[in-house]
Amino acid sequence: MAKDHRAGSKVRGDKLPAIVMANHLLEGDVVFLAESGWTLDPSKARVAYDAETADAMEAEGKAALAANMVVDPYLVPVDIGGSGLPVARHFRDAMRQKGPSIHPDMGKQAEYETPA
């Protein structure tokens, strides 16, 4: 039987701060939970610094899943870069955050600041 949540994070240690990452149901793009809705721009992702906020954001992601807006929403532990950009700690999520690796200077990901 399928579980309704993602397996535990691969990140060791503190799981906060965190963002919620998912895929847009119709477009397939990686999206981030923002202050209002979902965004393609990782710099606009809402960041949870405490467990209560993380729980509320996770619940908001599950509600968007139930409403058929996104697929596989989950909390992603991040580090906050010098510019304020949340950067995923686990390499898989960092790669998803950067976008397609072929010609990163083109396409949707070229419009947004991404981690180095």
Domain around 24:
18-111
pLDDT value at 30 more than 60: yes
Looking at the whole model, is its pTM more than 0.75? Answer: yes
How large a percentage of the chain has pLDDT more than 90? 58
Contact 98, 90 (CB under 8 A): no
- Band the pLDDT of 55: cuts 50, 70, 90: very high
| Count: domains in the chain | 1
Which pLDDT belongs to residue 28? 86
In a domain, 2, yes or no: no
Q: What is the DSSP string of 52-113?
A: HHHHHHHHHHHHHHHTTSEEEEEEEEEEE-TTS-EEESSHHHHHHHH--SS-TTSSGGGGS-
In a domain, 96, yes or no: yes
In a domain, 13, yes or no: no
In a domain, 33, yes or no: yes
In a domain, 103, yes or no: yes
In a domain, 10, yes or no: no
In a domain, 3, yes or no: no
In a domain, 47, yes or no: yes
Once rounded to an integer, what is the mean pLDDT over residues 53-62?
96
Which pLDDT belongs to residue 90? 93
pLDDT in tens, 70-103: 999 999 999 998 888 999 999 889 888 887 666 6
